Amino acid sequence: METDKRPPAGGGDGCLVGVIRIPVKIVAVLVVLPVRVVWELLVAAGRAVHRHVLRPLYVHVLEPLLRALGWLLTTLLKLVFVWPWVVLWRYVVVPVGQGLAWAWRGLYEQVLAPAGRFLTAYVLRPLGEALAWIGRGGMRYLLAPLAKGIGWIGWALGMTLFVWPWIGLWRYVLAPVGRGIAWLAAVVHRYVLRPVGLGFVWLVVAVYRYVLRPVGLGFVWLVVAVYRYLLRPVGLGFVWLVVAVYRYLLRPVGLGLAWLAGALYRYVLAPVGQVLVWAWHVAGRIVGALWRGLKWVGWVLVGWPASRVYRHVLTPVGHAVREVWRTGRAAVREARATVRRALFGAPPVEPSRSRARTLGSTTAADAAPADEISLPRRQG
């Protein structure tokens, strides 16, 4: 294996890349080729397992099992959540409703309707007619004066029972009591509630002025002092420390790691990747060549002998059997014709012209057929 003498395509690759590339190629050929072969075998095995094991297992086992489980789950859900309500509605609610409707219909038809018709015919209608006759006769001479007297009495009773008591209650009870309650409320407000409220307000102002305000100012001063003399210096120191760590540690380390990663990618990973890709293609070509070789070996060991046997053994035997069959069939036909002539006589003979020549042909009809000429056989 000769080393490639041409300069690298990138322009920046040197002898270091060549020194790395050659061992990597050797290792890739020794490692990637078996991996590629094993991968192709695993792919073929996976396809065979999927076609002959997993798919029949799914079609003939898992799918019926899942369908049975779905049917069982559906039936269970119907049995728990649907059928009890259907049975309750069909055999309890509907019969009870129909029975109640039938009872109400019977009660109405047999009791209420006859009673109503009886009351209307024999009680209410005669009573109404009598009241109408009495009303027409007594309205003019009795009820009108009586109504006027009853109206005046009603007005007097209404005023006595519903107006004057409320006026007296308001004038002699509620108004004096309201004025007394208002005077009592004014006294309580002036001599009790107002002093108590002023005292409470003074207490709140005093607590705010002499307790809450000093405490609040002290808390604010404490917070300002903690921020100014503790948190701010600590925060500035922390920020300075972070900036210093970034500037003098993280940034140089990051730049170094970036340069190292770039160099590693450029001088190691990229050549190794190229070699692996090349090795993968080479492995594919080798596998293809191996497959073609296996196909050629299969043809040499199985296909070519089978074609030779078919061409030089089975085909002549078939032709011979066909000739024997044709000869036997012609002999049987000739024997049958001879027996028929012997038993029933010869058939009518055609004229010599029509018997000697066929229609549209110059060859005699009774001429002996020529020997069968088979097609030229292809030589292997």
Residue 164 lies in a domain: yes
- Would you say residue 351 lies in a domain? no
pLDDT in tens, 267-316: 888 888 888 888 888 888 888 888 888 889 889 888 888 888 888 888 88
CA angle 278, 279, 283 (to 5 degrees): 120
**Mean pLDDT in the chain?**
78
Q: What residues make up the domain containing 311?
A: 16-339
| 203 inside domain | yes
pLDDT higher than threshold 70 for residue 376: no
Write out pLDDT tens, residues 185-233. 888 888 888 888 888 888 888 888 888 888 888 888 888 889 889 888 9
pLDDT in tens, 355-367: 444 444 444 444 4
Instruction: Give the residue carrying structure tokens 């692996």.
Output: 276
Q: How many CB atoms lie under 10 A from the CB of residue 25?
A: 20
* Within a domain: 284: yes
Q: CA 288 to CA 134: how far, in whole Å?
A: 127
pLDDT of residue 89: 87
Quote the pLDDT of residue 71. 92
Task: Name residue 357's beta-bridge partners.
Answer: 364
DSSP for 109-173, please give it. Answer: IIIIHHHHHHHIIIIIHHHHHHHHHHHHHHIIIIIHHHHHHHHHHHHHHHIIIIIHHHHHHIIII
| Tokens 């799918």, residue located | 63
CA dist 319 and 327 (Å) reads 12
Of 267, 264, 380, give the one whose Cα is nearest residue 313.
Answer: 380
Question: In this structure, is residue 45 part of a structural domain?
Answer: yes
Mean pLDDT of 143-156: 72
**Structural domains counted in the chain:** 1
Check residues 163 and 104 and name the one with the higher pLDDT: 104
For residue 380, is it within any domain? no
Is residue 48 assigned to a domain? Answer: yes
User: Who wins on pLDDT, 182 or 331?
Assistant: 182
pLDDT band at 374 (very low <50, low <70, confident <90, very high): very low
Does residue 220 belong to any structural domain of this protein? Answer: yes
Residue by residue, DSSP assigns 108-127 as IIIIIHHHHHHHIIIIIHHH
The separation between CA 335 and the C-alpha centre of its own chain, rounded to angstroms, equals: 81
Residue 351 to residues 15, 344, 365, Cα–Cα distance (Å): 106, 21, 12
User: Rounded CA gap, 92 and 96, in Å?
Assistant: 6
